[in-house]
Chain A
Amino acid sequence: MVRSAAKAEMRGIEEQCGVFQFVLLKLAARCNINCTYCYWFRDTSVYALPKILPLEVEEKFIERLRHHITAFRIPSFSILFHGGEPLLFGKPRLRAFCDKLRSLEENTGAEIRKSITTNGILVDEEWSQLFKEFGISVTLSIDGAEAQHNLYRMDFHGQGTYNSVVVALALLRKSGLEPGVLAVCDPNSSPEDLCKTFVDELGLKSFDVLVPDATYDDKVISIENYYKKLFDLWFDKYSYMGIEIRCVENMIRSSMGLPSTTKAIGYGPLSILTMSTDGCLEPLDVLRIAGSGFTRTTYNVKDHQFQDVQNDPKWRDAWHASLNLCEICKRCEFHDTCGGGYLPSRWSKQRGYDNPSVYCEDLKGIFRHIQRRVLPSLYFQPGEMPRST
């Protein structure tokens, strides 16, 4: 009786929160470079985690994933291998892990999509072949031009890592892989220089420029002018060359009421599960910038199914906040477009998530600019107009 009541309660939670179809999986808790701005090591509790995912946790993860896919009849599940630096996991371990995932696909009939975000330092031909063999999508972190990249992304000797990541890009391409590229916006830098480097020098066809992670307890630099310029560059020039800039396209998509492809832009529920190297099941990874150990829950893959974490107060707080915006946002003309901003950017020690984004005024300025420029181009498709009878 008690068990069936608990089951019914769990079903209720799943109906509200949704079934996970994506996990950000920490293969390594450490990194081989020393970026000045890293969100991960801002949470000092990560130093207490296993340096790489232990085999027993990996096996438990596979077991839980099998249950999850079967129980919820999931046709497609996505795993993002993450760190720290995920390549510290090593080739033999990742190969063995992917073999297990392949068996799981064969046994369940589900597709398991795999991707990895890396700084590129360790990428060699063997890694590239491994990614290709298992169909792992690769994302490289490059912050723009060499000087810009080396300003923030340096090794433990203070040396810039630009040359290494450019070598990684070439190696991946040699294996027939075209990685996605993520840059972090430096509001003081030039989006023109970034686009020139990415498009003209590196030949990228698509990339993203991420808003720097910040809470109300940080000093933020305005991002408005940077993203307005980036939008203009795309709108007036690079879009005609077939270049995709994900953040810009998502800002347009959400301005039009279309769903965004990232959690950083647009309104919608928190749906990402994170698993740490010790098996701890956590909400959105970047929320750890709210404080050391902030994302830790009492749920662990060793003892719990994935969905169980939705019972954790921290997970539920984050999920609730992702849908219930503050009063300022509720009254805002950009409520749906912005969605209150990226969840970590709403956090303050004083008011929790009950804030608009720390970038609120910037975002409003950016969305107004985009709408002002896009609106004159819009028209109705005459042939598809509804006809009166």
Chain B
Amino acid sequence: MNKILLNALAASIAAVSIPSDVAVLKEQPLRENELTIRSSHPAVDRLLRAKANVEHDGFDKSCTSSCVNDLR
């Protein structure tokens, strides 16, 4: 998890009401593998829930494209 997001999420924990049985998180460092992060934005949530899919997706994976030189 990106450190910036982790910090922001840690801050968000402090800002919301947390059930007593999970309040221990406030005092403990967050560990990545203990968190399930979701998004209220459907497409972002899909990205978060998708397994790490770095396989072939039908695109040119190498990103060969163009040179900037001749962009007019």
Which A positions have Cβ atoms within 8 angstroms of B? 22, 24, 35-40, 42, 78, 80, 82, 113, 115, 117, 137-139, 151-152, 179-180, 182, 184, 186-188, 208, 210-214, 218-221, 234-235, 239-240, 246, 249, 252-253, 255-264, 272, 274, 284-286, 289, 333, 336-337, 342, 371, 374-375, 377-382, 384-388
A–B pairs, 17, beta carbons within 8 Å: A42-B67, A80-B62, A82-B62, A139-B60, A212-B65, A213-B66, A218-B68, A255-B2, A257-B1, A274-B62, A286-B62, A333-B3, A374-B39, A378-B39, A380-B13, A385-B36, A388-B21
Task: For B23, list chain A residues within 8 Å (CB).
Answer: 388
Query: Are B37 and A380 in contact (CB-based, < 8 A)?
Result: yes
| A379 and B37 in contact, given A115-B58, A388-B22 (Cβ under 8 angstroms) | yes
Q: A169 to nearest B CB, angstroms? A: 14
A interface footprint on B46-61 (CB within 8 Å = 1, 0 otherwise): 0110001110111111
Task: For B44, list chain A residues within 8 Å (CB).
Answer: 235, 239, 252, 374, 377
Q: Which residue from chain B places its CB closest to the CB of A179 in the assembled complex?
A: B58
Q: Which residue from chain B places its CB closest to the CB of A76 in the assembled complex?
A: B55
Task: For A37, list chain B residues within 8 Å (CB).
Answer: 66-71
Task: For A249, list chain B residues within 8 Å (CB).
Answer: 43, 47
Complex: how many Å from CA A125 to CA B13?
A: 58
Q: A148 to nearest B CB, angstroms? A: 11
Identify the 5 closest CB pairs spanning chains A and B, nearest first. Answer: A239-B43, A210-B65, A214-B68, A37-B66, A212-B68
Query: Are B48 and A285 in contact (CB-based, < 8 A)?
Result: no
Q: A20 to nearest B CB, angstroms? A: 13
**Residue among A179, A240, A379 making CB contact with B43, cutoff 8 Å:** A240
Q: Which residue from chain A places its CB closest to the CB of B53 in the assembled complex?
A: A261
Q: B1 to nearest A CB, angstroms? A: 4
Task: For B41, list chain A residues within 8 Å (CB).
Answer: 235, 239, 374, 377
Query: Are A117 and B60 in contact (CB-based, < 8 A)?
Result: yes
Task: For A387, list chain B residues within 8 Å (CB).
Answer: 21-22
Query: Are B66 and A38 in contact (CB-based, < 8 A)?
Result: yes
Which B positions have Cβ atoms within 8 angstroms of A? 1-5, 8-9, 12-13, 19, 21-25, 32, 34-44, 47-48, 52-54, 56-72
Query: Are B68 and A35 in contact (CB-based, < 8 A)?
Result: no
Complex: how many Å from CA A374 to CA B48?
A: 12
**Residue among B2, B53, B59 making CB contact with A257, cutoff 8 Å:** B2
Q: Which residue from chain A places its CB closest to the CB of B41 in the assembled complex?
A: A377
| A42 and B21 in contact, given A249-B47, A333-B3 (Cβ under 8 angstroms) | no
Complex: how many Å from CA A272 to CA B54?
A: 13
Query: Are A152 and B71 in contact (CB-based, < 8 A)?
Result: yes
| A261 and B57 in contact, given A210-B65, A374-B39 (Cβ under 8 angstroms) | yes
Complex: how many Å from CA A211 to CA B67?
A: 9
Q: Which residue from chain B places its CB closest to the CB of A118 in the assembled complex?
A: B60
Query: Are A258 and B52 in contact (CB-based, < 8 A)?
Result: yes
Q: A36-B70, A37-B69, A182-B65 are in contact. List 5 more A-B contacts (CB 8 A).
A: A24-B62, A187-B71, A249-B47, A256-B2, A380-B37
Query: Are A39 and B64 in contact (CB-based, < 8 A)?
Result: yes
Q: A388 to nearest B CB, angstroms? A: 4
Task: For A188, list chain B residues within 8 Å (CB).
Answer: 71
Q: Which residue from chain A places its CB closest to the CB of B34 in the assembled complex?
A: A386
Task: For A213, list chain B residues within 8 Å (CB).
Answer: 65-68
Query: Are A379 and B39 in contact (CB-based, < 8 A)?
Result: yes
Task: For A255, list chain B residues within 8 Å (CB).
Answer: 2, 5
Query: Are B67 and A39 in contact (CB-based, < 8 A)?
Result: yes
Query: Are A259 and B54 in contact (CB-based, < 8 A)?
Result: yes
| A210 and B63 in contact, given A239-B43, A380-B37 (Cβ under 8 angstroms) | yes
Query: Are B39 and A218 in contact (CB-based, < 8 A)?
Result: no
Query: Are A386 and B47 in contact (CB-based, < 8 A)?
Result: no
Query: Are A258 and B47 in contact (CB-based, < 8 A)?
Result: yes
Complex: how many Å from CA A184 to CA B63?
A: 10
Complex: how many Å from CA A214 to CA B70?
A: 11
Task: For A212, list chain B residues within 8 Å (CB).
Answer: 65-68, 71
Task: For B34, list chain A residues within 8 Å (CB).
Answer: 386
